[in-house]
Amino acid sequence: MNKFLWQIRVYYEDTDSGGVVYHSIYLNFMERARTEWLRSLGFEQDELIQKHDVVFAVRNLAIEYHLPARFNDSLVVSTEVVGVKQASLLFNQTITNAVTSEVLCSGSVRVASLSAQRFKPSAIPVGLREIIIKGN
């Protein structure tokens, strides 16, 4: 299985007054990584909307928070496709401290492929689906 790695820096905007990254921000980091994974396969999401009427939306997720990330930390988000259906993808993702290699946060995220117009389930474009399956 291929894991796509994407590096992210923690800025002030990501932290809260507890001194750590705010818990919902890890979801943003995971989505940035999924976007960059898609780009690494040659697919831009704005083109998927315009050419294929396809938009991806999170359907469900389960996250474990192990250790906090802090201001200025350098993080690595790992993204792995563990399931491909007609109109959804299942990802396993982890966020690791790039210096200590400690796993800070891990989880699974199911992303649905929707018609951008109707916001209803819509098959993943064939070309993309084939590349994802090959990539694994």
Catalytic positions are 16
- In the numeric block, which tokens belong to residue 99? 């210096």
From 103, 116, 131, 132, residue interacting with a copy of itself (rule: CB under 8 A): 116
- Find where tokens 């898609």 sit: 38
Of 29, 30, 10, nearest to 20 by C-alpha is: 10
Do residues 97 and 69 touch, judged by C-beta distance below 8 A? yes
From 7, 40, 41, 57, residue interacting with a copy of itself (rule: CB under 8 A): 57
SS3 percent helix, strand, coil of the chain, rounded to 5, is: 25, 40, 30
Q: How far apart are CA 56 and CA 52, in angstroms?
A: 12
Q: How far apart are CA 58 and CA 6, in angstroms?
A: 19
Closer to a copy of itself by CB, 48 or 81: give it. Answer: 48
If one asks whether residue 61 binds a copy of itself (CB under 8 A), the answer comes out as yes
From 37, 51, 54, 58, residue interacting with a copy of itself (rule: CB under 8 A): 58
From 2, 5, 7, 28, residue interacting with a copy of itself (rule: CB under 8 A): 28
* Segment interacting with a copy of itself (CB under 8 A) among 17-25, 84-92, 93-101, 128-136: 17-25
Residues that bind a copy of itself (CB under 8 A): 9, 11-13, 15-20, 22-25, 27-28, 31-32, 35, 44-46, 55, 57-65, 68, 70-72, 116, 119
